[in-house]
Chains A and B, each alone.
Chain A
């Protein structure tokens, strides 16, 4: 593959485009509400109306407004149709020929769309994830070409350093620093691992990236491979994402076929291959050392760090592990430069972040916003408040490792440090909105149940501590607990946080700690008096 061939593919694809592209979202969410039938109905309507010369129907990835799916968009007309059904789909085509569409429309000027800043998801909802030509037409793989032919490996790392990108898996470790550590580590071979074991309840950012734009992740991995000196990458995807897996498989096959993966990429000496590893349903395998054990074919259990994977990872070799969204940021960073990326966001949290906005909120779906936006702006402007006008009480970020942020703190900017300061974490991007009807003790119990279920069982504080904490939460909810039990719960929280082996255990008490911090009254209201205690 040469640059001319890449450009030729892009131009050929562009010239074959028809005047009007009708884009039909074919990601998991919309498919589950009949997107496939809708696409067929659209295609049939085009044939019936004899519009085949002018109109094309394309499958695309997630367009964001998942709660109102299936979504169909006609960008040239500036139209976004929501809640489309196979029955009213044909009217969308009628509208193109002067008729009237009966499908409901979303307002493209709503802040939900206008306040977003698409960097990672710029191709999502625009290209057909099954067609590498679509990705190439959108400029795909030119970053890899430039990197291989114009950059020395340390220049690539420097660009990532300059961008200020931090790990999007949740912990926020500076990506450039991680890259340079792996590049400097000594080993006869090195590996790239893409962590796609997204498991926080209510989070589906990585799924939508993998389903909607698999090549951007593959290209990001190849660039990482060039930068640190690795020639093999693994994408670890959870088995619960079958569509993401099949789209990735197809994407890897296509990239190999035209020489964008394999030996001597772009006529250079750089070789890079990507393999998929499928998880077996363990949340803890999102923890990097457990993920490595799982790829190696062992039981997915974390091990103490150090040594960190950057030094001794997969099969004892230096390994670069990045989350899907982190890797998806690499191509834009190379294309537009690290300085451009660093101009987005806040002083310490650069760029954008994708969030899965769910719960009691009008506009459920995926949003990509610049760092530093406040929670209030996300929830009220983009999210549009609660669907039934009820009062919002809190937002939960960071899944089972995160915490609840009460409405009084909604002016907190979304960046790694600020969220940490209010007792939550950025996390991987799950954002669950809770209204006044939500019982916060119940919320804490929900997350603790999750941790009990997902604890691997290796270390005692997490294995037994989570069960003991859950039992205490149940007792409180059943109104059988006293203040002594609440004290015992707090003591357990502190101990499990400080003594657990891995991040899962160390953060398992966070939902309890944060709800206790902001909604202590809800706990106290459920307590029973101690024997002999007189209630005023």
Chain B
């Protein structure tokens, strides 16, 4: 694998050609905000938080799926990028009910953290608040669609790591919903192993352990890079 050098925010860095901009930036200590990305799962470039500017291209590229190239000059923080990222967050807060004060993940939420980091003090767009369901049929876990940001982490971890593929997305556009099995109650899914990985990778309070009160749900993700590596070695 060829080794290349490139510049991120003016800093010279070296990289392997199969690495993504996000990988390389992380190694260089440059922080690019992410939401749908999680270490250990295939990246899908869905949330657009990690978009960066690449010199010579007028298109913004997601850092998580864009491979580095020799001589690339990448900028991760510009006024334009910051504005767009903030608008992405605004859109998410306007899309469903994300009232932190009554959420089990209050204080331990990736969306909330991003909102604070991006100084999102209020939402200018009208709230859409669609009527969404709660599925608490599983013995240990609960799904609250109101908090879901459709990052598809649950879909990916179940498919790629657990190998069960219980989760998927149904519907489209703003009507999209994560579903279990063939859009049946979680408890009726024949394939769910109740491993709980989906709950741990969920960035918000959409998936939680039952019995948690406001702010009590903390997530543990240390297992993921380890298991992902083991899966990778196995292949």
Residue positions of A touching B, CB distance < 8 A = 282, 284, 299, 303-304, 306, 452-461, 463-468, 471, 488, 491-492, 495, 498-501
Contacts and interface: CB of A to CB of B under 8 A. Distances in A.
A173 B60 CA distance: 20
A459 B124 CA distance: 20
B62 interface: yes
Contact of B88 (A456, A460, A467): A460
Given A464-B91, A488-B124, A499-B60, A456 B172 contact: yes
Contacts of A303: 44-45, 65
Contacts of A458: 44, 46, 150, 152
B43 to A, nearest CB: 9
B126 A468 contact: yes
A453 B91 CA distance: 17
Nearest to A458: B46
A431 B62 CA distance: 34
A466 B95 CA distance: 12
A488 B94 CA distance: 14
A375 to B, nearest CB: 27
B92 A304 contact: no
B173 A452 contact: yes
B169 A299 contact: yes
Interface in B34-63: 44-48, 51, 60-62
Contacts of B172: 282, 284, 454-457
A495 B84 contact: yes
A501 B169 CA distance: 17
Given A303-B45, A304-B45, 8 more contacts: A456-B173, A460-B46, A464-B95, A466-B174, A495-B83, A498-B60, A498-B80, A498-B84
A459 to B, nearest CB: 5
Contact of A457 (B45, B67, B175): B175
A458 B84 CA distance: 17
Nearest to B96: A464
Contact of A495 (B62, B66, B87, B128): B87
Contacts of B10: none
Contact of A464 (B61, B169, B174): B174
A461 B174 contact: no
B126 A457 contact: no
A79 B195 CA distance: 74
Interface of B: 44-48, 51, 60-62, 65-67, 80, 83-84, 87-88, 91-92, 94-95, 124-126, 128, 149-150, 152, 168-169, 171-176
A453 B48 CA distance: 21
B174 A306 contact: no
Contacts of A459: 45-48
Contact of A499 (B67, B88, B150, B169): B88
Nearest to A468: B125
A488 to B, nearest CB: 7
Contacts, number: 99
Contacts of A471: 126
A533 B169 CA distance: 47
Contacts of A284: 172
A501 B152 CA distance: 15
Contact of B47 (A282, A460, A498): A460
A467 B126 CA distance: 10
25 contacts: A303-B45, A452-B173, A452-B174, A454-B172, A455-B173, A457-B173, A457-B175, A458-B44, A458-B150, A460-B47, A460-B48, A461-B88, A463-B91, A463-B176, A464-B92, A464-B128, A466-B174, A467-B128, A467-B173, A468-B91, A471-B126, A488-B124, A498-B84, A499-B87, A501-B48
Which of B45, B47, B95 counts the most A-chain CB atoms under 10 A from its CB? B45
In order of increasing CB-CB distance, the 7 nearest A-B pairs are A457-B176, A464-B91, A455-B173, A304-B45, A304-B65, A457-B173, A499-B48
A512 to B, nearest CB: 16
A279 to B, nearest CB: 13
A457 B47 contact: no
Q: Which of A282, A460, A500 has the most CB of B within 10 A?
A: A460
Nearest to B43: A304
A460 B128 contact: no
A500 B44 CA distance: 13
Contacts of B173: 452-457, 463, 466-467
Contacts of A461: 48, 87-88, 91
Contacts of B83: 495
Contacts of B169: 299, 457
Contacts of A299: 168-169
A499 B174 contact: no
A466 to B, nearest CB: 7
Nearest to B95: A464
Contact of B174 (A455, A491, A492): A455
Nearest to A281: B172
Nearest to B86: A495
Contact of A463 (B44, B87, B150): B150
A453 B172 CA distance: 8
Nearest to A475: B126
B41 to A, nearest CB: 14
Contact of B62 (A304, A453, A457): A304
A281 to B, nearest CB: 10
A141 to B, nearest CB: 40
Contacts of B47: 459-460
Contacts of B48: 459-461, 499-501
A499 B45 contact: no
Nearest to B51: A499
A457 B60 contact: no
| Residue of B83, B91, B95, B126 ringed by the most chain A CB atoms within 10 A | B91
Contacts of B66: 304, 306
B171 A457 contact: yes
B62 A460 contact: no
A28 to B, nearest CB: 26
A395 B169 CA distance: 38
B233 to A, nearest CB: 21
A496 to B, nearest CB: 9
